[in-house]
Amino acid sequence: MKSVTDVPNPNVDTAENPPVILTSELRKVYRTGFLLNQKLVSLSSCSLKVYQGETFGLLGPNGAGKTTLLKLLLGIIRPTSGRGLLLGKPLGDRATKAKIGYLPENPYLYDYLTGWEFLQFAAGLFKIPPRVQRQRIPELLELVGLSLGDARKKQMRRYSKGMLQRVGMAQALINEPELVFLDEPMSGLDPVGRYQMREIILRLKAAGKTIFFNSHILSEVEQICDRVGILSRGELICAGSIPELLNPKNGYFVRGQGGDWEVLQKWIPNIKFTVDGCWEGELEGDNYDFLASLRLMNANVFNMNLIRPSLEDFFIQKIQGNHQR
């Protein structure tokens, strides 16, 4: 059995663990205006690495450049400068496209096809033989939670937004990709739909797929992603794991009951009583000594949580900081 030290650190480049997505100073400038004489920097100089099996979430406000980065990675548009590798091959490489899946931001699905026909069509583009399709399509429908009846009998113009996202997701997985790109997979879904989409992503993650997705829904990203990056005005302003980024304050918020008020006040200067007869506040000092002192006073502690900002607070702070520059 492998010991912990044998397992490659996912954030370190080694010959066995090269990044599956690598970009170096990737830049995209669009020409806009009636005479195409204005320039719009959609992505300024993006250097990023994503490793095998990671789930990477790209966050950013509207217009930050998230879809632009995804399109560059997928080879749909060409960079103005900079370079990138996907599964070790330059962006746009044809053979690599067969190993990746993509759920676009607003998937264009054929209204007059049934979900099944659409998936057959998508499978045909990858030259998947009909015999394999007959087995894979029902498996994917089960994974994304779309009933066989809906897929077989209903044309997609009759599908709800949630059903369209599901069939879009099945399409993204039709070629059994190693690397999956999802542009706003939760967008427009109700809480149940979002929960189900999250479950699908977690199942893909458990199957070892590398997932790169764009999202506005910070709580989902916080629950699913190993690492996140924040784009603002075309600039990748930070990237890292959530504990790294949120940089917890070295302190705990504690809540308990009983004990000597004067002693408690020394440990918790901002202590206050709550309506249910408990006390709470920020602990100052060593947490082990605090717990020992509670035991001496016969007091109970119910919660002891590391103080750290939420991803939402962190996101807003970073975006506002970048906009004020």
What are the residues binding Mg ion (CB under 5 A)? 66-67, 105
- The DSSP secondary structure of 170-239, one letter per residue, reads HHHTTT--SEEEEESTTTT--HHHHHHHHHHHHHHHHTT-EEEEEES-HHHHHHH-SEEEEEETTEEEEE
Max intra-chain CA distance, the chain: 79
Q: Which stretch binds ligand ATP (CB under 6 A): 5-13, 55-63, 244-252, 315-323?
A: 55-63
- Rounded Cα–Cα distance for residues 177 and 102 (Å): 9
Count of residues of this chain found to bind ligand ATP when the rule CB under 6 A is applied: 13
**CB nearer Mg ion, residue 105 or residue 117:** 105
106 binds ligand ATP (CB under 6 A): no
Pick 44 or 257: Cβ nearer Mg ion: 44
Kindly provide the b/e burial profile for residues 117-133, where b requires at least 16 CB atoms within 10 angstroms of the residue's own CB.
Answer: ebbbebbeeeebeeeeb
> By C-beta, is 187 or 287 nearer to Mg ion?
187
Least distance to Mg ion, CB of residue 97, Å: 21
By beta-carbon proximity to Mg ion, the closer residue of 67 and 96 is 67
**CA–CA distances in Å: residue 83 to residues 12, 65, 66, 214, 263:** 20, 17, 17, 20, 61
Q: Which of residues 63-82 bind ligand ATP (CB under 6 A)?
A: 63-68
3-state DSSP assignment of residue 325: coil
Residue 216: CB minimum distance to ligand ATP, A: 6
Cβ closer to Mg ion: 55 or 214?
214
Contact 173, 143 (CB under 8 A): yes
Q: Is 114 in the site for ligand ATP (CB under 6 A)?
A: no
Contact between 40 and ligand ATP (CB under 6 A)? yes
CB of 30 within 8 A of CB of 37? Answer: no
Q: Which of 8, 9, 13, 32 binds ligand ATP (CB under 6 A)?
A: 32
Choose the binding region for ligand ATP from 8-16, 59-67, 111-119, 146-154 (rule: CB under 6 A): 59-67
Amino acid identity, position 207: A
What residues line the site for ligand ATP (CB under 6 A)? 30, 32, 40, 42, 60, 62-68, 105
